[in-house]
Amino acid sequence: MILSRESWSLSDLAARYGTSRRQSPKPPSAKTTKWVSIGFVIALTLGTIGFWALTFNNADTTIESQTARFSPISDTEASIQARVSVQPGTPLACAFEAQNDMKAVVGYEVVELPPSAEPHQVVNLTLRTTQRADNVSVRECWIPGA
């Protein structure tokens, strides 16, 4: 039996198979949208204040180090000049590391720097090595006892 277009209707199909169109969800009310916006602004403000309090307010934890230059002196020594920056009056300890051409550590030394009245210090160091060093750098710096 072949049905013509006129013999069936959308209501017959809906009765047989269920509704074919999904009902769209209700749009959020203006009250809900307002409270979600207010909550977002409050969370963003608190997050910004918290981030600022943890990072910028505690200047003692900001330590920067930079290798200015290095040069191999011999097969057993290398020199390094580095710049270290920290809050004035803060003692520091810095680890210096020498590596060969295979990136193996061939020299390592920890140097304690006394507190300085200046925020920037220049460190000159001759590092003893087990092989010729191709790279000498400041590995890391920290506040001793912190």
Same domain, 43 and 69: no
Same domain (yes/no): 67, 137: yes
CB burial of residue 84 (10 Å; 0-12, 13-18, 19+): buried
pLDDT tens per residue, range 31-90: 788 888 898 999 999 999 888 877 665 555 688 999 999 999 999 999 999 999 998 888
Whose CA is closest to 105, among 87, 83, 127? 127
- Give the global pTM: 0.58
The answer as to whether 86 is a domain residue is yes
Q: Note whether residue 121 is domain-resident.
A: yes
Residue 67: strand, helix, or coil: strand
Q: The CATH number of the domain where 137 resides is what?
A: 2.60.40.1620
The range of the structural domain enclosing residue 42 comes to 8-55
Q: How many domains does the chain have?
A: 2
